[in-house]
């Protein structure tokens, strides 16, 4: 009986992740397809797991992934060169930002470290 309900929970998590994917990446076919493939691959990869404790752990992970997608992923669309429109939902986490103070001096070593960190982003 417990195995049956666990199977239902896995199917429920699978469907829920796909609904979240549709909501978060709405209108972006490339991201929708990539997310669909990734979700399907991960569930297929773990299809043979029988340990109920491991399955429960993975179900917790799917909930965390779903929450991360809903709260921390935003879409940006380029309206014209250099101008982007962001799609921010009511669920999106919004943090307070502190205003930039041009009079604050950043030490040189810290400046180099920040430059290395920010320049590791790859744009496709």
Q: Model confidence over 35-81: pLDDT tens digits?
A: 999 999 999 999 999 899 999 999 999 999 999 999 998 888 888 88
Average pLDDT of the chain is 83
Phi/psi at 34 (5° precision) = -65, -40
- Helix, strand or coil for residue 62? helix
**pTM for this prediction:** 0.69
- H helix count then E strand count, the chain: 4, 2
User: Could you give the angle at the alpha carbon of 67 between the alpha carbons of 84 and 78, nearest 5°?
Assistant: 10
């Amino acid at each position: 009986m417990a195995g049956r309900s666990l199977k239902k929970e896995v199917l429920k998590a699978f469907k829920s992740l796909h609904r979240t994917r549709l909501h978060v990446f709405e209108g972006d076919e490339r991201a929708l397809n990539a997310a669909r493939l990734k979700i399907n691959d991960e569930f297929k990869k773990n299809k043979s797991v029988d340990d109920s404790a491991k399955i429960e752990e993975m179900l917790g992970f799917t909930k965390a992934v779903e929450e991360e997608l809903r709260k921390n992923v935003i879409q940006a669309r380029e309206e014209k060169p250099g101008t982007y429109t962001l799609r921010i939902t009511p669920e999106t986490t919004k943090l307070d930002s502190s205003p930039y103070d041009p009079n604050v001096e950043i030490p040189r070593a810290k400046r180099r470290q920040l430059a290395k960190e920010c320049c590791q982003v790859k744009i496709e």
